[in-house]
Amino acid sequence: MSIVTAQIADYIQTQSWIRRMFEVAAELKAQHGAENVFDFSLGNPDVPPPAEVGLILRDIADIVSAPLALGYCPNAGLPDVRAALADKVSHEQGVALAAQHIIITSGAAGALNTILRATLDRGDQIICFAPYFVEYGFYAANHGGTLKSIRSKPLSFEIDVDALRHAISPNTRAMIINSPNNPTGVVYSQQELDAIANVLREKSHDFGRPILLISDEPYRFLTYDNVFVPPVLSAYEYSIVVNSFSKSLSMAGERIGYIAVNPHMTGVDQLLAGMILANRILGFVNAPILGQRIILNALHSGVDVNIYEKRRQAMADILDNIGLEYTLPKGAFYFFPKAPEGYDDKMFVDVLMTENIIAVPGAGFGYPGYFRLTYCIDKTIIENSKPAWQRAMAKLTK
């Protein structure tokens, strides 16, 4: 007899491939030593936070003796932090936001769950392009919704506008986009963003209710070769931006994110009130106070992007050497190469494991036939993995 729900029991069996491979890596490290395992599974940023974060923490230590220094704050976040974020996002998005249009959340994951709790009715549908971050499906199900994915174009992972148009139904409540993308590193162009907005306008009119566009942007800061990430709020009126400081300040464990709502949206005040309520009743109550104080003073700081750029090149050099097909990522810190001919993604990941290389099958992102590698690990580890890759590839020809 199961003590958990049938849904959770099912999730346990089909839980994230990312976490599953991360656990395999931990077992292999215990057996063979961490230096002999090449773990490309988990996007856990290892680059140290900028120096400003440590300085701010020391300053905060001096004020915690004040009354309520670590007490509850308004459910939407500290007013001065919301105002500072509104100013920052206004410049990024080309739309003038006030503090009231910002809700500070427990990470981007908390932000997404807050939005969906406030906007989904049971049976509503969320759509996204595959490959996609697997948790989106769990988040939709948390609030009675379902996730429907649309396959992007192979290898380039450009959007398929016609497929998007046909995927939208009367039950479609929102679309989630993620650019720069996890797991592909793709950055959607202004042309692609405009095409998405036009389809959503068309279908919103056809079905008589607005379809929200939710842009999940934790990697906005991390692009290469002067690639520009187009703003979403200025492209579509029913848009919401989600972001966090997990990657940009290497503060994944502190759980600080935010929601920025397009002020030109009809019904914006009701939506904001609903999300502030949802932020509380989901149990977050308010985002961590220490994290809010850190980001207030570190909004214009960031980790050293050059470190990730050098790692990207090291990973590309290896993939080129062994002859795998891939699209060079324009942002984030992932590669999503194609599995070799004659092997599906899971089979090839199994081969890699025989040489202590840990990757994540593309099936875990709704896109079989490919696999994900993260390069938020030391460049030396990437370079040292080259012989293991060569041995793994040699096994394919035997």
* pLDDT higher than threshold 80 for residue 328: yes
Report the pLDDT averaged over residues 232-261. Answer: 96
116, 252, 317, 323, 326 from 231: Cα distances, Å: 22, 24, 32, 36, 27
| Chain segment 371-391, per-residue pLDDT in tens | 999 999 999 999 999 999 999
Residue 14 confidence (pLDDT): 58
Letter string b/e over residues 89-111, b meaning 16 or more CB atoms within 10 A of that residue's CB: bbebbebebebbbbbbbbbbbbb
Letter string b/e over residues 196-207, b meaning 16 or more CB atoms within 10 A of that residue's CB: bbebbeebbeee
Q: Would you tell me how many other CB atoms lie within 10 Å of the CB of residue 300?
A: 9
Annotated domain spans of the chain: 6-49+303-396, 53-298
At residue 394, what are phi and psi to the nearest 5 degrees? -60, -30
pLDDT band at 108 (very low <50, low <70, confident <90, very high): very high
Residue 12 confidence (pLDDT): 65
Report the pLDDT averaged over residues 310-315. Answer: 98
Alpha carbons 393 and 380: distance in angstroms, whole number: 21
Mind giving me the DSSP string for 21-83? Answer: HHHHHHHHHHHH-GGG-EE-------SPPPHHHHHHHHHHHTTTTSTTTTS---TT--HHHHH
Cβ proximity of 111 and 257 under 8 Å: yes
| Chain segment 189-225, per-residue pLDDT in tens | 999 999 999 999 999 999 999 999 999 999 999 999 9
Q: Look up tokens 């939208």; give the residue.
A: 168
| Chain segment 144-191, per-residue pLDDT in tens | 999 999 999 999 999 999 999 999 999 999 999 999 999 999 999 999
Q: Please report, rounded to a whole number, the percentage of residues in the chain having pLDDT higher than 70.
A: 98
| Chain segment 75-84, per-residue pLDDT in tens | 999 999 999 9
Alpha carbons 262 and 17: distance in angstroms, whole number: 34
Query: Are the folds of 6-49+303-396 and 53-298 the same?
Result: no
Report the pLDDT averaged over residues 59-69. Answer: 78
Kindly report whether the peptide bond that precedes residue 210 is cis, defined as omega within 30 degrees of 0: no
* pLDDT higher than threshold 80 for residue 364: yes
Domain 6-49+303-396: CATH superfamily is: Aspartate Aminotransferase, domain 1 (3.90.1150.10)
* pLDDT higher than threshold 90 for residue 360: yes
Mean pLDDT of the chain, nearest integer: 93
* pLDDT higher than threshold 70 for residue 72: yes
Residue 251 confidence (pLDDT): 93
Helix (H, G, I), strand (E, B) or coil at 99: helix
Is CATH 3.40.640.10 correct for 53-298?
yes
* pLDDT higher than threshold 90 for residue 13: no
* pLDDT higher than threshold 90 for residue 298: yes
Residue 35 confidence (pLDDT): 84
